[in-house]
Amino acid sequence: MQFHSDPAPQPKGDDSTVPAAAHQSIIRAVAFVVRCSGAATCAYVAAAKIGLPHAVWAAISALIVSQERLDDTTTSLAGRIAGTVIGAFIAVAVSLAGARLTTSVALQIAVAVAVCQRSHARDRLFEYVCGRRLSCC
Q: Which amino acid is at 63?
A: L
CB-based contact 59:41 (threshold 8 Å): yes
- 113-132 pLDDT, tens per residue? 888 777 665 555 556 555 54
Q: Which amino acid is at 134?
A: L
Cα separation, 66 vs 75, whole angstroms = 10
Confidence of residue 48 (pLDDT cuts 50, 70, 90): very high
**Reported pTM:** 0.54
Confidence of residue 44 (pLDDT cuts 50, 70, 90): very high
Mean model confidence pLDDT for the chain: 78
Distance of CA 42 to the CA centre of its chain: 17
CB-based contact 116:130 (threshold 8 Å): yes
Q: Is the pLDDT of residue 12 over 60?
A: no
CB-based contact 68:75 (threshold 8 Å): no
- 87-118 pLDDT, tens per residue? 888 889 999 999 899 889 999 988 888 887 77
Torsion of CA 75, 82, 43, 54, to 10 degrees: -140
CB neighbours of residue 61 within 10 Å: 17
- 60-94 pLDDT, tens per residue? 988 888 888 878 877 777 877 887 888 888 889 99
